[in-house]
Structure 1
Amino acid sequence: MNVHLQAKIKHWLSLDGDENSREQIQTLLDNDDIDELAARFSGRLMFGTAGIRGVVGAGPMRMNPLVVQQTSKGVAEYLKAQIKDASTRGVIIGYDGRHDSKRFAHDTASVLTSAGVKVYLTERVAPTPLVAFGVLHLDAAAGIVVTASHNPPQYNGYKVYWENGAQIIPPHDSGIAARIEHAATNAISLMSHSEAIAKGKLIILGDDFYQAYRHGIQQASTLQNHTAPERVSLAYTAMHGVGADMAETVLKDAGFTQVYSVAAQREPDGDFPTVNFPNPEEAGAMDLVMAEAHKHSAMLACANDPDADRFAVAVRRTDASADMSPSEAYQMLTGDQVGVLLGHYLLSHAPDDQRLTCRTIVSSSLLSQIADSLNAVCETTLTGFKWLTNVGMSKQTNTNRFLFAYEEALGYTIGSMVWDKDGLSALVAFAQLTAELASKGQTIWDRLEAIYRQYGFYLNQQVSIALSAESGAPTIGEQLRALAPNKIADRVVVSVDDISIGIRRFADGREERIDLPASDVLIYQLDDGARVIVRPSGTEPKVKCYYEVVEQFVDTDSLQTVQARAAQSMANLIKCHQQELPG
């Protein structure tokens, strides 16, 4: 073992007061497992705009009590430096149902109170949207939620909200990261909860807080469509997470009586025993909720992810029958389809002074077309909900308030009660849309087809492509910019957005500025309405490509024939584009 690694380990052990963590390191030392030690001490978990997330284990490259304590000390010092009354306004802390989450949340509270910052700590597990809600509800200086969302069981994470109730964006991420680096050089002071409570520095948020969120949902102007909720039947799963109690409650409050929860997945369980991967987007993750829906011939099979900030839904097919399997009877909607359906529905009911929507650059551009036709605004942001909500806040006015935002990765926010994705309010809104349609003898499929017939069938697909790269060769981004194609898959390139410099270049040579933060992204708009977005990796020779094709209907078309044409068009676009990439 080299001297540098030895010094890192010695320093870590001098600061780590957790017996289990110290034993892990000692076992690795006893087994002379240099490779594993080197991996755990190769740096530290990087604090970014999504906070930190990683595998639970000992060492600075893992999630453990000391990393959480150091992170919390950095957050506390940064808050005190940036917000003059941060210590008295305080920080709300919540946590999900993973095995270490309560410990990490309680450690966070001990560090913040020791640093002089007031803390509001949830008395039990809480859906992530409740913490985001709590920042504004309590007028707190920040919020922290301990969660790894839909990551595998071995992970945990730590997310920070700013005083505006949204996830942090630059420069706060780098500012906090610098404070964490400094905090990691010294022992961290902890205050016991009993002492903090006695000093008025720690307030435990009991049922009144959870009821405040519930009442917020009840009173939200965007969730007041109570048309025939008794007509809707749905199955629901919390996916071994923390959403079930609140999801069932807000559905009942909204009048939905035919709700069937998946018992095997209802309670929080950090092992996630019935799913290989607790993410509704993953194959098989929705199997149990679709089986529950099929048992009751329910219209919808709905899911929240384990921290209940995402929403997924499978819809009963119009040709479904009892002798079909659940996977035959129900079809998953994509995140884009749910986003378009909710956006169209909400805009159809919204008042004239609440017509501001947002989508990310890689989400379907269909929402923009719908907004244009309904006298509304759709802002386009970088990927990530932190951008959707911060942009939504900055762009809204007294005469055009924020209504809705979504990203294709199953994230939706409705109204301004929660400035982050909220799988609970999305669940209620989607159920209300379904009920309104049912009262007219229509289904979700009818509404989706009507939208497609009016605006065109939009199909989106994402592909990650590994490329060869020689040492010393230009980066993938540089090569792509040097190519400057005027055609992609025999489609003429109408414009190219280079987000890294904030410029849109048109085929005729014109240029215009793009109002987006710099990011290594290229967007090619093609002459038939298709779109190719390329996001080069900054660390390895690969690119993420996001494709969109648009197919228009003719009178003789069925939805199936248009879908087939779009699928063929997409396959051709992807194949040709990949062949045209460098390397």
Structure 2
Amino acid sequence: MTQRTEHSAGGAATDAAAAATTPTPAATGTAISEALFAAARAWLAEDPDPATRGELEELLAAAESGDSVAYGYLEDRFDGRLQFGTAGLRGELGAGPNRMNRVTVLRAAAGLAAFVTGQHGTGQVVAIGYDARHNSRRFAEDTAEVMLGAGHRPYLMPRELPTPMLAYSVLALGAQAGVMVTASHNPARDNGYKVYLGDGSQITTPNDTLIAERIDAVGALADVPRGAIGDVTAVPEDVIDAYVARAGELVAQSAHRDLRFVYTAMHGVGFELFHRVLTNAGFPEPISVPEQQKPDPDFPTVSFPNPEEPGALDLAFALATEHDVDLIIANDPDADRMALAVPDPATPGGWRRLSGDDVGMVLGWYLANKGRRGTFATSIVSSEGLAAIAAEAKVGYARTLTGFKWLSKVPDLAFGYEEAIGYCVDSAHVRDKDGVTAALVAAEFAATLKAEGRTLLDALAEIDKVTGNLVTTQLSIRSNDPEQIQTMMRTLRRTPPATLGAVPVTEVGDLSAAGQALPPEQGLRLALEHGWIAVRPSGTEPKLKCYIELGDRTAADRSPVVARIAAVRAGLEEWFGQFA
């Protein structure tokens, strides 16, 4: 994912921390203060957005008058900048190079346009989409104008639509690049700029570096040629219609459609496309969570717009209980991810949200048993259960680095998933995770099971027999101090715990070391008795992410494994506690 500079990871919390620790302008030295003020004035001279200009003018005036809090805020916005990396940019909205704003976007667009020209010449198709976040449409229009000014042929989505629709359009339109303005399931204060190339997948190294170099070479924004938004071509409606029709082909083999389900768009842009795809395929109207159906960039009913987060599905659970449905389907705000929940009397509240690995196993098993051929793939931080499913089905299997930018490039990809509720069920047309078509396939499987008097939980019990009762869980360790995160990684590498929750740690592998089967990635992999732990710094948030998996082929069911993995997780949390 996009990388932030060290100074931009905490949003408002970072501003507060900066204000608390930043000395007054006089204490920092006049030269340093004047350099910062000069950078802010230069930014103001280029910024075309009255909102961020007004914000920065007020901040600059306060800082110049000696307000140390304002000086800290100002310094945080100009001490570094958002770095363009794999998948583009992502960060907090606001003025300055360390924030997402029109200046940052215009420079990124100009750099990307120059990269496309250098690779393919002018006159190239560039597909551009946007979600409903603050400034998404404006950023998309700015990008289209810059592409037009550079001599390319931008196609702009006719309205706010999901990320997979943009990924589909890159291939459908024969584009040499694609841009999706979205921060996916980040907090409301963020936005992002996701970049695709002509193969339909997100950028990877070295193209991210080459584009970043082009962005660095952009001069004054006044010298960047721009076309008029009125001259930009809209993505034709028949491209959207073709996506809907193609989705229906994925489930044409089964006639089972008897399924009652609740759907939530999580205040995002998923409802329109989800509704069309499911009803076009013959499913009944979804029972939509009304408070979360329409796009709302403030995400008023959730503290964090991610179906994985505690509380995010509470409204869906209540509505599902009221209507006695068979399934809950949730998309994240840009609908590239998908979550499922099923009735379960053993779970408090009566509803069990399936983990990303659970859904990955369910979809992989279903597609393999339907006769899907090709390679089934997942990432190094996802369950190893898909390998067992692929072996039983006698199909190919691959593991990649974290992220769909890698999964989408697996040759002959038949199905790909990662534990962060991302699934690809139609790589020939969408070379990225797609929460809409994944939901359609999940609904077909649930309806098929219902016709047989069974549920997705019954399917998971059967899958456990193949995979060996594998159970996964996660732990996140947050820290606003980048050095503390590195210290924790170094200590874990050099002096790992001998046991965690009475489970022996048998080996520590460094994912960044040379000679690995996969390219280096910052992180560690701890081998456990009957399992493993992967620990890596997050690419988008100030935290370490820990992925844990245990199994037991001798157990009758998951129960003893669930207890054991809870103890391992508690032991790992206790070990990290020494750094608090």
- Indicate whether the TM-score tops 0.5: yes
- Cα separation, 1, equivalents of 2:95 and 2:306: 26
Q: Secondary structure at the match of 2:167?
A: helix
2:256 aligned residue: 228
Q: Answer yes or no: is 1:204 the counterpart of 2:240.
A: no
- Cα separation, 1, equivalents of 2:440 and 2:517: 33
Match of 1:46 among 62, 73, 83: 83
Distance 1:434 1:171, change over 3 A: same
Distance 1:467 1:206, change over 3 A: closer
- Cα separation, 1, equivalents of 2:88 and 2:485: 33
User: Quick check: 1:358–1:404 contact (8 Å CA) kept in 2?
Assistant: yes
Cα deviation digits, residues 18-59 of structure 1 (max 9, x gap): 222221111112222211111111121111112111121111
Q: Answer yes or no: is 1:215 the counterpart of 2:227.
A: no
1:331 aligned residue: 352
- Cα separation, 2, equivalents of 1:240 and 1:481: 41
Identify the range of structure 1 (336-345 vs 175-184) with the bigger mean alpha-carbon deviation: 175-184
Aligned 1:1-40 pairs, distance under 5 A? 1=25, 2-32=33-63, 33-40=70-77
- Cα separation, 2, equivalents of 1:576 and 1:473: 18
Quote the offset at 1:541 in angstroms.
11
Q: Secondary structure at the match of 1:143?
A: strand
Quote the offset at 1:206 in angstroms.
3.5
User: Quick check: 2:126–2:153 contact (8 Å CA) kept in 1?
Assistant: yes
Cα deviation digits, residues 274-308 of structure 1 (max 9, x gap): 22221111122112222222222110111111111
Distance 1:470 1:329, change over 3 A: closer
Which residue type is aligned with residue 350 of structure 1?
G
- Cα separation, 2, equivalents of 1:48 and 1:350: 38
Quote the offset at 1:7 in angstroms.
2.0
Cα deviation digits, residues 106-158 of structure 1 (max 9, x gap): 01111111111210111111110010111111110010011111112221111
Distance 1:184 1:571, change over 3 A: farther
User: Quick check: 1:69–1:188 contact (8 Å CA) kept in 2?
Assistant: no
Cα deviation digits, residues 365-384 of structure 1 (max 9, x gap): 11112112221222111111
Quote the offset at 1:329 in angstroms.
2.5
Distance 1:414 1:28, change over 3 A: same
Q: Answer yes or no: is 1:345 the counterpart of 2:345.
A: no
Q: Secondary structure at the match of 2:551?
A: strand
Taking only aligned residues, the RMSD between alpha carbons, in angstroms, comes to 2.9
2:386 aligned residue: 367
- Cα separation, 2, equivalents of 1:94 and 1:44: 24
- Cα separation, 2, equivalents of 1:569 and 1:544: 20
Q: Secondary structure at the match of 1:281?
A: coil
User: Quick check: 2:264–2:288 contact (8 Å CA) kept in 1?
Assistant: yes
1:506 aligned residue: none
Q: Answer yes or no: is 1:267 the counterpart of 2:288.
A: no
- Cα separation, 2, equivalents of 1:115 and 1:307: 28
User: Quick check: 1:359–1:379 contact (8 Å CA) kept in 2?
Assistant: yes
1:426 aligned residue: 438
Cα deviation digits, residues 417-469 of structure 1 (max 9, x gap): 11111000011000011011112111111111111134322121222347999
User: Quick check: 1:150–1:307 contact (8 Å CA) kept in 2?
Assistant: yes
Distance 1:301 1:579, change over 3 A: closer
- Cα separation, 2, equivalents of 1:576 and 1:319: 26
User: Quick check: 1:91–1:118 contact (8 Å CA) kept in 2?
Assistant: yes
Identify the range of structure 1 (22-31 vs 493-502) with the bigger mean alpha-carbon deviation: 493-502
- Cα separation, 2, equivalents of 1:469 and 1:24: 27
Which residue type is aligned with residue 552 of structure 1?
R
Quote the offset at 1:579 in angstroms.
6.3
- Cα separation, 1, equivalents of 2:389 and 2:78: 50
Identify the range of structure 1 (473-482 vs 453-462) with the bigger mean alpha-carbon deviation: 473-482
Q: Answer yes or no: is 1:176 the counterpart of 2:211.
A: yes
- Cα separation, 2, equivalents of 1:74 and 1:232: 48
Q: Answer yes or no: is 1:252 the counterpart of 2:273.
A: no
- Cα separation, 2, equivalents of 1:468 and 1:311: 29
In the alignment, structure 1 segments of 5+ residues that lack a partner are: 321-326, 504-513
Distance 1:539 1:332, change over 3 A: closer
Q: Secondary structure at the match of 1:187?
A: helix
Which residue type is aligned with residue 107 of structure 1?
D
Q: Answer yes or no: is 1:189 the counterpart of 2:224.
A: yes
Match of 1:568 among 563, 568, 571: 563
TM-score (ref. length: structure 1): 0.86
Aligned 1:117-516 pairs, distance under 5 A? 117-183=152-218, 185-193=220-228, 197=231, 202-220=232-250, 223-229=251-257, 231-317=258-344, 328-351=349-372, 354-390=373-409, 392=410, 396=411, 401-416=412-427, 417-465=429-477, 476-483=488-495, 496-503=508-515, 514-516=516-518
Identity of aligned residues (%): 39
Distance 1:522 1:256, change over 3 A: same
Distance 1:445 1:542, change over 3 A: closer
Distance 1:437 1:495, change over 3 A: same
Quote the offset at 1:185 in angstroms.
4.8
- Cα separation, 1, equivalents of 2:486 and 2:132: 46
Quote the offset at 1:479 in angstroms.
4.1
Q: Answer yes or no: is 1:535 the counterpart of 2:556.
A: no
Quote the offset at 1:89 in angstroms.
2.8
1:509 aligned residue: none
User: Quick check: 2:259–2:283 contact (8 Å CA) kept in 1?
Assistant: yes
Q: Secondary structure at the match of 1:303?
A: strand
Which residue type is aligned with residue 346 of structure 1?
L
Distance 1:99 1:490, change over 3 A: closer
Q: Secondary structure at the match of 1:103?
A: helix
Quote the offset at 1:517 in angstroms.
1.3
User: Quick check: 2:162–2:270 contact (8 Å CA) kept in 1?
Assistant: yes
Distance 1:192 1:228, change over 3 A: same
- Cα separation, 1, equivalents of 2:524 and 2:307: 29
User: Quick check: 1:225–1:432 contact (8 Å CA) kept in 2?
Assistant: no
Which residue type is aligned with residue 254 of structure 2?
H
Distance 1:225 1:382, change over 3 A: same
User: Quick check: 1:347–1:355 contact (8 Å CA) kept in 2?
Assistant: no
Quote the offset at 1:410 in angstroms.
0.8
Cα deviation digits, residues 329-372 of structure 1 (max 9, x gap): 22111111001100111111124xx2311111111111112112
- Cα separation, 1, equivalents of 2:272 and 2:543: 42
Cα deviation digits, residues 248-277 of structure 1 (max 9, x gap): 111112211152122222221112222222
- Cα separation, 1, equivalents of 2:50 and 2:481: 45
- Cα separation, 2, equivalents of 1:485 and 1:534: 14
Identify the range of structure 1 (236-245 vs 447-456) with the bigger mean alpha-carbon deviation: 447-456
- Cα separation, 2, equivalents of 1:426 and 1:523: 29
User: Quick check: 1:132–1:420 contact (8 Å CA) kept in 2?
Assistant: yes
- Cα separation, 2, equivalents of 1:161 and 1:227: 35
Match of 1:525 among 527, 530, 536: 527
- Cα separation, 2, equivalents of 1:92 and 1:381: 27
- Cα separation, 2, equivalents of 1:246 and 1:541: 33
- Cα separation, 1, equivalents of 2:489 and 2:315: 43
Q: Secondary structure at the match of 2:123?
A: helix
- Cα separation, 1, equivalents of 2:466 and 2:561: 16
1:67 aligned residue: 104
Distance 1:57 1:89, change over 3 A: same
Identify the range of structure 1 (258-267 vs 22-31) with the bigger mean alpha-carbon deviation: 258-267
- Cα separation, 2, equivalents of 1:23 and 1:540: 28
1:84 aligned residue: 120
- Cα separation, 2, equivalents of 1:52 and 1:92: 17
Distance 1:502 1:491, change over 3 A: farther
